[in-house]
Structure 1
């Protein structure tokens, strides 16, 4: 952590249903976990630690929400596993617990909620139907429940081993219960498991085991299987129907504490996790510890501004970048390894652009663990994953973007990584067809990409995939081609770092393959777009640059307006292809002003910085400010799209600090500083201090930048220039200047690059 901790003691106006004042009285007080729970954000509001395995929170409504939480809908219980910010079919929602009063009613236990509060590591709600105050906090693998009963009815506790999110979701993305088990061991102990498959990644089966202990004995208990309730059977197992148990307590009991340990190995391991991590019954002590761990994490960046809303937006965004992936080291049911094991990469197609570079910058040790986890998966399964959840790799959305993560790591000097092994994994992506797992591993259509220099529009399954008999028209051929080209540049850079000169030349050449799909058609006054091409080299005529795609289409989650800007490895060549800098700036202006820019999805993340590549940094600055001001707020709907494991949030963090990474490279583009001062802990007792002199609502433009007291004379910098810390000073003014008009950011095709 920073040697000189600058704590911000800020008086926060507590709005019912939005905040709970956390015990840390510091940066955690600036976090509002409800931001993103409404609108498109899909963020998880419950209790979790940084990268924690337990994510304990409410499951509401029809149980189709990705995060479990649906505002203003009845709560059906509080489960221990969730993801945050994701789209598509829901995942997890395992081991659901719900307190109640009065007689037990199978399938009828639910409650309206009020006074919901959340802070890092904590969640609470009043369950109105039962007069219960429910509070939750966590350790890494244990959920701690505290229930206060106000009424006179008999208190009860439901534990549902068969509950899950996403049953009945469309598009083959539903979760399906395979089996569950419940066993009442004593009047205060219950164990069991939930075994589930499916969800967004169409993943294989995963099992969540649990061990639960109450601090007071139950006076009676019962179990159920399907619709059958028994007061005599203490153990229930079923391969299809749900199982669970309910406990009833003394009518005079007013408080009940419950600890639930989970594991992906066994119930015994869940019990061991519980006993090791939370050997006491002190709820407030654990809450303080949880808040303290978040305080240490959030303290990695200290910002100074009088705008309290901006602080809340910023620290909530920083918080969201640390919820996933999930650290499950020691909890891998498939193999043992000395390397770390992380799950819930959901998905690297989203996170490689900003989240992974942010962790590389402020949590390099954590990012090192994440990279080693990817290599661990490669060693045992043959490919690094693009997405992975429930211990199952599934659904590569575009390119093999772990290549970008590896390049980012080696170029920015992360240590304790076997880069020879990483290079081997990258070559596996780039050269070996994934056979029957075209949508899961590596690069689908790689043989045709190697042969033709692009993935053709009439994409054919590899012959090694007998389950697919007919060609799929388009099937993300555009997305794959341009992303494979960027991935090839990542491989080229790693090859060069490792002294593989011939491989460097090979993949550098392949990094220009995006141009093979560049067609000089004109629309809205601009010329040239990425366009579908057949195997014989002819263009597909029935195509629109505005067609937004998904699975099976030419583009994934974007259109040609967006992907025709995606050449991060060689923006100079892209500018030339559009007709030069003047035409390129015109194209960018039309892109933004005619609303082709999609703020709610990742393919446009890097586009606002492209003005800087043409020498117009002030336009990058203006666009970034407008995007933030119009789309990010401190309200519950304050994230413009699916947060995607913190991706939308990481974009906000970087750009409000004043720079943004070109992922997979060691280059940062200067964007739009929003804080008068920011101090970043970049590891090993090193600090990067950012200052914006004269910053105000009027003074939003950059006159010049000083790096360690010397003029930078360009609107970009390399990681090596800040990796030892130092000070970067932005001198702000009220009008656009010539800052950034010379010494433009580097591109693959720069003269002198061999």
Structure 2
């Protein structure tokens, strides 16, 4: 997660007022006559200012992802705040930080070569870069189009393993002789070798390459196959640097070549006679297995080059995924509806279904990739999928279990068949506990439990990419020391505070599974370890901002092996002090992407103890309010999400609703920069959706914290049980002045607890919330608070 410009509170409130006050507009109808929710999905939200959202064509969780690749912050291929396009590639990730990802084997179309001289066409990536027209971009679920200054309009759509491009060329048919090239390149320019070939009889372009992941170790091989339709073949060849050759059918680049293979553009091409109606198509199959499988994928999924039919099928797939949600949007602004539905859409872009495309091992289990990263996704993406798409969530959890079987550990991050970097704890443990407690079906729980116990007990050789480091200190000292002595494995010795609180919660999740599966001694052991977070709490630590004491005492602080305290300013790595100093590097300090102020609130399993340690419910709420009002918190980092709703634990659920309505829409809106930070594979999108549903899940627990939905009524249909769960606001106010629950009924009976369990979404029912303009006593009593290991004060 990279930082983004923060909106001043006054500006944020002005945006909120504008968006709340706008009037809902009508939309086109879907084929079934209902309002088409896809009209409220804008894939361009978050494509500028570092949002890194994938804007192109994809199916839900699809492997093939087609879009124009631009020059700039092109982590997802296309970015709005850019000016030139260098190609169109077929696989991408969405919302990731760090370096760009995938973008392999871009194709590029030119209407003709100047003077009909093949060597006057543009070949190298930097030379062929061409301006794109700002008013030309159209992005819808399953479809993307863009017009270039060279007279090419490119449209694209996808199936699961292939992309279909439709190129329309300006100019008279006499002047057209289109050239389409493929480049053995990827977005991060990580290639170590590559090979491409062309069939001079058909124009088919094929090849493969070896590349590196953008946030992990190792490498991967990828293969492609390009076929054309709509124009007669004129000639074919290969190209390198700025020269093309008609007589050669293969080209190869290796790591020991004279030129740097990572930056050298090289590939094959096909040139065509003037196409009918100035339009032709290119079909691209991709595969991690082989060239032949890449060709077979395309031939099987798109045998007829049916562009319009493929777009229609993609839209149908997206409607099916999103139709499980139903809202009564009367009075709700069109902008807020777009924020909601676009967030739901982005939450279903990744992880990606690579089943049948895993060359690393043979298995009958599903294989999903681009868990990018679980540190980000466990907090909101996977809990949302458990609500909206439990079938896909089951497949993803089964995939994680199968990765454990064959790799020896659950990943905390994984992309392009490679091990990704671990940012904190072993957070697949949280996912497994969450899925178990919410009765996600089809998972081998014995093997899943074996995997989470291994995370807790066995330190891997390289804990930068799996498991946990510092386990000897964790078990013996009860915390991760600063400058830990750890001869048992290698890894980045930073983040001692954030790793300690994450390990504690991971162990709580292991304990939950142990208890449910009948492992009583394990349950007691891991439950005890889950209390280790308190060992980093320095009760007399104070905090000041610009030399002024904040008035709060007691914060998490570093500790050394001998038990003595270190020091890290509690506001360090917040927006108020050295915001970008706590990343995943050897100088990354003792908290990760956040401050000790933020991490001091992280003990979601034992909020009774935390509230007590921070001075009781009144003082806890006061401190949490200060976090949100002072500028210390950046909601663009996922660990900020829970703090918005932790007022529930102090008996102040009204304040959770208040701050939900501050962050949405002040930091989330319909502009191209309309998300906080980058999307992290849909984390920001899922945050918005869950918040607007009025359901904040505490991941790893069977707990949903209740706030009023942003709609008059909202229903979710469980795709496994067919049951419908409805949350209805009584006295709904679309100006959002009445956002405080006065009373509640669950299935017609009074409900005073400020939280729900997942059974509501399995069995169906109606939760009715009566709203008012002022905070009430609803959900404020100790007996109404969410579960905690320790009693509340």
Tell me the TM-score normalised to structure 1 length: 0.92
Counterpart in the other structure of 1:522: 542
CA distance in 2, matches of 1:724, 1:185: 61
Displacement, 1:206?
Answer: 1.1
Number of positions where the alignment pairs a residue of Structure 1 with one of Structure 2: 722
Identify the residue that residue 181 of structure 1 maps to in structure 2.
Answer: 196
2-side partners of 1:381 and 1:738: how far apart?
A: 51
Flag the 1:59–1:252 CA change in 2: closer, same or farther, 3 A: closer
The structural deviation recorded for 1:133 is: 1.7
Query: How big is each residue's C-alpha offset from its partner over 1:157-211, in whole Å with a ceiling of 9 and x where there is no partner?
Result: 33334221123xxxxxxx344334333353331111132114222x311122111
TM-score, reference length from structure 2: 0.88
Q: Is the CA contact 1:182–1:243 (under 8 Å) kept in the aligned structure 2? A: no
Out of 286, 300, 309, the residue aligned to residue 310 of structure 2 is 286
Match of 2:767 among 728, 735, 745: 728
8 Å CA contact 2:557–2:567 kept in 1: the answer is: no
Q: Output the CA distance in 2 between the equivalents of 1:673 and 1:542.
A: 39
Aligned to 2:722: 685
For residues 542 and 616 of structure 1, do their structure 2 counterparts lie closer, same or farther at Cα, with a shift above 3 Å needed?
A: closer
| Partner Cα separation in structure 2 for residue 388 and residue 610 of structure 1 | 30
Q: Give, in whole Å, the separation in 2 of the partners of 1:49 and 1:67.
A: 17
**CA shift digits 1:194-248 (9 cap, x unpaired):** 32114222x3111221111101332012212455532111111221434312222
Which among 76, 81, 106 is matched to residue 123 of structure 2? 106
Q: Larger helix proportion, structure 1 or 2? A: 2
Gaps of 5+ in 1: 1-8, 14-19, 168-174
Q: Which residue does 1:209 correspond to in 2?
A: 223
- Is 1:577 aligned with 2:613? yes
Q: In structure 1, what is the Cα distance between the partners aligned to 2:707 and 2:554?
A: 27
Q: Is 1:481 aligned to 2:500, yes or no? A: yes
Q: Hey, what's the Cα distance between the residues in 1 that align with 2:768 and 2:177?
A: 60
> Shift of the alpha carbon at 1:663?
0.4
Unaligned runs of 5+ in 2: 1-23, 114-120, 256-260, 544-549, 574-578
Of 91, 102, 127, which residue of structure 1 is paired with 2:148?
Answer: 127
Map of 1:164 onto structure 2: 186
Partner of 1:586: 622
Q: Displacement, 1:409?
A: 0.5
CA distance in structure 2 between the aligned counterparts of 1:53 and 1:484, rounded to whole angstroms = 32
Task: Tell me whether 1:86 sits opposite 2:93 in the alignment.
Answer: no
Q: Secondary structure at the match of 2:726?
A: strand
Query: 2:424–2:499: 8 Å Cα contact kept in structure 1?
Result: yes
- Residue deviations 1:596-643, cap 9 Å, x none? 111111111100111110101111110111111211111111111111
Q: Is the partner of 1:372 in helix, strand or coil? A: helix
Distance in 2 separating the partners of 1:518 and 1:424? 31
Answer with 62-71 or 691-700: which moved more.
62-71
Deviation at 1:722, TM superposition (A): 3.4
Indicate the RMSD between aligned Cα atoms, in angstroms: 2.1
**1:557-587 Cα distance to aligned partner (Å, 9 max, x none):** 1110111111111111101111111211111
| Secondary structure at the counterpart of residue 382 of structure 2 | helix
Q: Aligned pair in 2 of structure 1 residues 394, 23: CA closer, same or farther (>3 Å)?
A: farther
Change (3 A) 1:403 1:537: same
Deviation at 1:393, TM superposition (A): 1.2
What is the CA-CA distance between 1:109 and the residue it aligns to? 1.9
Q: Structure 1 residues 619, 510: closer, same or farther in 2, change over 3 A?
A: same
Secondary structure, in 3 states, of the residue corresponding to 2:763? coil
Which residue does the alignment assign to 2:86?
Answer: 76
Query: Which aligned runs of 4 or more in structure 1 are off by greater than 6 angstroms?
Result: 20-25
How do 1:437-476 residues align onto structure 2 when only pairs under 5 Å count?
A: 437-465=462-490, 475-476=494-495
SS state of the match for residue 370, structure 1? helix
CA separation of 1:622 and 1:443: change in aligned 2, threshold 3 A: same
Which of 247, 267, 274 aligns to 1:251? It is 274
Change (3 A) 1:643 1:62: closer
Correspondent of 2:323 among 299, 308, 316: 299
Q: Which moved more, 1:289-298 or 1:696-705?
A: 696-705
Residues 608 and 791 of structure 2 are in contact (CA less than 8 Å); yes or no, is this contact kept in structure 1? Answer: no
**Compared with structure 1, are the counterparts of its residues 484 and 63 closer, same or farther at alpha carbon in structure 2 (3 Å cutoff)?**
closer
What's the counterpart of residue 637 of structure 1?
673
1:511 is aligned, of 518, 530, 548, to 530
Are 2:37 and 1:27 aligned? yes
Q: How many angstroms apart in 2 are the aligned matches of 1:729 and 1:185?
A: 68
- CA deviation after TM superposition for structure 1 residue 322, in Å: 0.3
Whether 1:598 aligns to 2:619 is no
1:194-593 correspondence runs (5 A)? 194-201=209-216, 203-215=217-229, 216-226=231-241, 229-240=244-255, 241=261, 242-251=265-274, 253=276, 254-305=278-329, 306=331, 307-435=333-461, 437-465=462-490, 475-520=494-539, 521-523=541-543, 524-541=550-567, 543-547=569-573, 548=579, 549-551=582-584, 552-593=588-629
Q: Which residue of 2 aligns with 1:668?
A: 704
Pair 1:118 & 2:139 matched: yes
Match of 2:61 in 1: 51
Q: What SS is found at the alignment partner of 2:321? A: helix
Q: Distance in 1 between matches of 2:593 and 2:470?
A: 19
Contact between 1:61 and 1:70, CA under 8 Å: does it hold in 2? no
SS in structure 2 of the partner of residue 458 of structure 1: coil
How big is the shift at 1:414? 1.1
Query: Which shows bigger deviation, 438-447 or 180-189?
Result: 180-189
SS of aligned partner of 2:233: coil
**Native 8 Å contact 1:378 1:384 kept in 2:** yes
Residue deviations 1:671-707 (CA, integer Å, cap 9, x gap): 2420111111222211111111111122211111211
| Contact residue 24 and residue 295 of structure 1 kept, 8 A | no
Q: Secondary structure at the match of 2:620?
A: helix
CA gap of 1:476–1:542, structure 2 versus 1, over 3 A, is: closer
Task: Quote the offset at 1:445 in angstroms.
Answer: 1.3
Alignment counterpart, residue 148 of structure 1, candidates 153, 168, 187 = 168
Deviations 1:350-382 (A, max 9, x none): 000011011111111110000000011000000
- Does the 8 Å CA contact 1:22/1:119 hold for their aligned counterparts? no
101-110 vs 307-316, greater mean Cα deviation: 101-110
